[in-house]
């Protein structure tokens, strides 16, 4: 980003960026940065808070007139992640007692996923391996992996199993936004998924099973975000 900013500046176009990691911003030395001490993935701070997001953007644009570059200003507010406080998302009751609990749970939250998909105008983080119609099958494959850690049995390789886990997580986190009774704080939906849902527990078990099976660290470790490794 710093290189691109300098190229644009040399062409006479003023630039400004948002920083979430201050040390990186200091090292990059781009012409103008507004550092926001916000959780990673939330450069505008607070979801569904138009006033706060507008304030961030205005503070960033206010730096465009500065010529005493490099400029690194700090947003006055700090936002901490809330990993230790799972979001409150009410799951529907079991529907199919013959299905694995995680599969039944995932299919039960499909209406919530659809509501969030509509609100997001069709944008979703799914699609690495499958979409919402595939989530039941993907979770069933994870159930098998949780039991034996044999990637070949379910037709996965190291890259595919991580991508499938990311799709499943995206499905749940997007559905969780529709299920939550409040605007979740940073990482609260993530913590809800891994600590309060059957599928989150399955993915944790897969990570442990792959480790026990002797898979490379990059395979089992990156099945989970860093905040859920403990």
Q: What is the DSSP string of 1-65?
A: -HHHHHHHHHTT----EEESSHHHHHHH--SEEEE----TT-TTSSTT-HHHHHHHHHHHHGGGG
For residue 3, the model assigns a pLDDT of: 76
Among candidate residues 213, 189, 211, the one with its CA nearest the CA of residue 200: 189
Q: How many degrees, rounded to 5, is the angle at CA 200 between CA 204 and CA 183?
A: 135
d(CA 117, CA 110): 10
For residue 230, the model assigns a pLDDT of: 63
> What does pLDDT average to in each consecutive run of 10 residues of the chain (230 residues)?
81 92 89 90 85 96 93 92 80 91 97 96 96 97 96 96 97 94 82 95 96 95 82
d(CA 78, CA 83): 16
For residue 30, the model assigns a pLDDT of: 87
For residue 168, the model assigns a pLDDT of: 98
């Amino acid at each position: 980003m710093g290189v691109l900013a300098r190229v644009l500046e040399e062409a006479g176009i003023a630039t400004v960026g948002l920083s979430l990691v201050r040390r990186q911003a200091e090292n990059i030395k781009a012409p103008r940065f507004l550092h926001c001490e916000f959780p990673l993935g939330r450069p505008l701070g607070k979801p569904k808070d138009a006033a706060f997001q507008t304030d961030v953007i205005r503070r960033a644009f206010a730096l465009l007139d500065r010529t005493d570059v490099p400029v690194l200003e700090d947003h006055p507010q700090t936002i901490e992640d809330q990993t230790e406080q799972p979001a409150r998302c009410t799951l529907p009751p079991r529907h199919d007692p013959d299905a694995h609990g995680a599969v039944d749970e995932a299919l039960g939250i499909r209406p919530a996923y659809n509501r969030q998909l509509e609100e997001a105008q069709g944008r979703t983080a799914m699609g690495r391996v499958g979409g919402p119609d595939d989530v039941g099958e993907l979770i069933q494959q994870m159930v098998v992996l949780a039991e034996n850690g044999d990637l070949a049995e379910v037709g996965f390789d190291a890259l595919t199993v991580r991508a499938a886990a990311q799709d499943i997580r995206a499905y749940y986190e997007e559905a969780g936004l529709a299920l939550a009774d409040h605007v979740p704080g940073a990482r609260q939906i993530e913590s809800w998924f891994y600590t309060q849902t059957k599928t989150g527990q399955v993915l944790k078990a897969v990570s442990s099973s792959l480790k026990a099976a002797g898979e490379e660290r990059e395979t089992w470790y990156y099945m989970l975000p860093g905040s859920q490794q403990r």
